[in-house]
């Protein structure tokens, strides 16, 4: 096998796996389960968006507060320097001002006053005495030269982040110095962490509360009525017509009905009554099998005679599908009846509207396929055979459902008696 064949086989396997998974999700899960997933997804998106927005707003607000603090501290030092005129020399008063600010603001990590001299910008006062008198680096000199207003930036010292405020000091239009204030963000981080935890707990509570309310609303409006309709439809498919889907409360006469679920319930209840009434009339004509609701062998004989006449005279093809159940001989009458009714429902659901179904034996059904050649009947038999698991896997005992076909085309058709004898006899002869 070459690489292209291998790639094609892998692609087909993936496609088959996807189709099985899609079928299992679509048909193997209840409406309630789908709604729960949908509701939780919606609640998660809504609450998650609110949580993100609240946290982002909180972070922005707290950061703005800390930036304002840093600006305030820098402004106090700048004002003190400008009023007392001790920028270019060491002063105990400047140290005292710095100390008072450190006592006032616990988050302040350090304050540095840089003055402009003939050699450039140098440190004239600082909470770190070892830096006093040190000339600023070239990058710092360039930054200070271009400083025209207060700037606040986030900086890092190892793994610790902090805010640094740059406040220029002017004498008239001349820049004479810069005040640097470093403010720790540890308190901010603790505050944000605490509020984030509170927001997280509130979001989880809101998630389940919103999800629960949405689910309860959808369950009351959609899931519960649809489940009742599905159960009633299942009962009707078993030919139990004495069932009616109840509504939550009675509609007041004259109220215009716009609710689709209520319309569906009313339509279903009316449909079951009409079906039951029509079936009772048909049973009086003895054309319907009382158990399965399919047509009888006598009715097949009349319909088949008409189709075979078309085949003999006008060369119109006619075919029959023959379906036989095995494994019911030792089962109870209740089990047998249930299998027969389910099989009839399965065949009616998978045949064309023009393909009429008949019960022609105790465990045998036949479907008349008008205008269908034998090759078309073979395709239909194969298609049905691939879906028989919908019947055979529904019981805890073995049930076998075999399908064969017979048809006539341009060569004409035998007499009706021969055909009836053929389809009511052993099916092994047809398979051979």
Give the tens place of pLDDT for each residue, 71-91.
676 676 666 666 665 544 445
Q: Which of 186, 202, 223 is the last residue of a domain?
A: 186
| Mean pLDDT within 347-361 | 92
Token representation of residue 181: 């204030």
pLDDT at 5 over 70: no
In a domain, 161, yes or no: yes
- pLDDT above 90 for 172: no
pLDDT band at 336 (very low <50, low <70, confident <90, very high): very high
Does the pLDDT of residue 287 top 70, yes or no? yes
Mean pLDDT of the chain: 81
- Cα separation, 131 vs 126, in Å, equals 7
pLDDT at 180 over 90: no
Residue with more model confidence, 33 or 287: 287
Mean pLDDT, residues 341-347 taken together: 93
**Nearest CA among 5, 198, 184, 214 for reference residue 111:** 184
Residues 278 and 348 both lie in one domain: no
* Higher pLDDT pick, 319 / 58: 319
Say yes or no: 270 and 357 in one domain: no
Segment 355-383 shows an average pLDDT of 94
**Measured between alpha carbons, how far is residue 105 from residues 73, 110, 138 in Å?**
9, 11, 31
Give the residue-averaged pLDDT of 44-71. 72
pTM check: above 0.85: no
Q: What is the pLDDT of residue 370?
A: 92
- Among the candidates 166, 186, 206, a domain finishes at 186
Mean pLDDT of 318-338: 94
Q: Residue 409 domain-assigned?
A: yes
Other CB atoms within a 10 A radius of the CB of residue 293 amount to 20
Q: Which of 186, 211, 229 is the last residue of a domain?
A: 186
Q: Are residues 179 and 316 in the same domain?
A: no
- Looking at the structure, tell me whether residues 341 and 402 fall in a common domain: yes
- The stretch 376-384 carries a mean pLDDT of 93
Joined tokens for residue 405: 């076909």
In sequence order, what are the residues at sequence separation of 6 or more whose Cβ sits closer than 8 angstroms to the Cβ of residue 173?
A: none
Mean pLDDT score, 27-56: 74
Which residue range is the domain that position 267 belongs to? 239-250+259-284
User: What is the reported pLDDT for 385?
Assistant: 92
State residue 254's pLDDT score: 66
What is the DSSP secondary structure assignment for residue 228, as one 8-state letter?
A: H
Q: What is the pLDDT of residue 87?
A: 47
Question: What is the mean predicted confidence (pLDDT) over 246-261?
Answer: 73
| Out of 141-155, 308-322, 398-412, least confident range | 141-155
Assigned domain for 300 exists: yes
Number of structural domains the chain divides into: 3
pLDDT-based confidence at residue 134 (cuts at 50, 70, 90): confident
Q: What is the pLDDT of residue 301?
A: 92
Helix (H) or strand (E) holding 133: none
């Amino acid at each position: 096998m070459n690489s292209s064949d291998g790639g094609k086989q892998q692609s087909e396997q993936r496609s088959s796996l996807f189709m099985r998974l899609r079928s299992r999700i679509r048909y193997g899960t209840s409406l309630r389960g789908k709604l729960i997933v949908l509701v939780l997804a919606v609640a998660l998106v809504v609450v998650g968006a609110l949580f993100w927005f609240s946290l982002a707003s909180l972070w922005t607000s707290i950061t703005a507060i800390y930036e304002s603090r840093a600006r305030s501290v820098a402004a106090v030092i700048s004002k003190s320097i400008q009023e007392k005129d001790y920028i270019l020399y060491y002063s105990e008063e400047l140290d005292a001002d710095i100390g008072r600010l450190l006592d006032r603001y616990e988050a302040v990590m350090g304050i540095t006053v840089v003055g402009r001299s003939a050699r450039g910008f140098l440190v004239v006062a600082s909470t770190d005495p070892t830096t006093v008198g040190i000339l600023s680096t070239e990058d710092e000199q360039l930054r200070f030269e271009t400083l025209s207003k207060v700037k606040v930036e986030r900086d890092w010292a190892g793994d610790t982040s902090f805010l640094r405020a740059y406040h220029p000091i002017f004498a008239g239009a001349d820049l004479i110095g810069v005040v640097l204030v470093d403010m720790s963000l540890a308190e901010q981080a603790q505050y944000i962490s605490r509020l984030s935890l509170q927001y997280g707990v509130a979001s989880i509570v809101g998630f389940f509360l919103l999800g629960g309310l949405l689910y309860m609303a959808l369950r009351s409006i959609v899931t519960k009525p649809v489940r009742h309709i599905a159960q009633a439809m299942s009962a009707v498919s078993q030919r139990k017509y004495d069932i009616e889907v109840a509504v939550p409360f009675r509609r007041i006469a004259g109220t215009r009905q716009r609710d689709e679920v209520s319309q569906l319930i009313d339509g279903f209840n009316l449909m079951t009554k009409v079906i039951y009434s029509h079936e009772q009339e048909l049973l009086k004509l003895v054309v319907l099998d009382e158990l399965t609701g399919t047509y009888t062998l006598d009715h097949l004989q009349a319909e088949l005679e008409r189709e075979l006449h078309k085949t003999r005279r006008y060369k119109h093809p006619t075919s029959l599908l023959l379906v036989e159940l095995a494994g019911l001989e030792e089962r109870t009458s209740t089990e047998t009846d249930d299998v027969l009714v389910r099989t009839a429902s399965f065949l009616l659901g998978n045949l064309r509207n023009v393909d009429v179904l008949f019960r022609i034996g105790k465990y045998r059904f036949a479907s008349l396929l008008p205008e269908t050649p034998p090759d078309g009947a073979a395709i239909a038999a194969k298609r049905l055979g691939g879906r028989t698991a919908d019947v055979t896997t529904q019981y805890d005992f073995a049930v076998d459902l075999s399908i064969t076909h017979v048809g006539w085309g341009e060569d004409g058709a035998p007499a009706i008696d021969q055909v009836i004898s053929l389809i009511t006899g052993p099916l092994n002869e047809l398979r051979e």
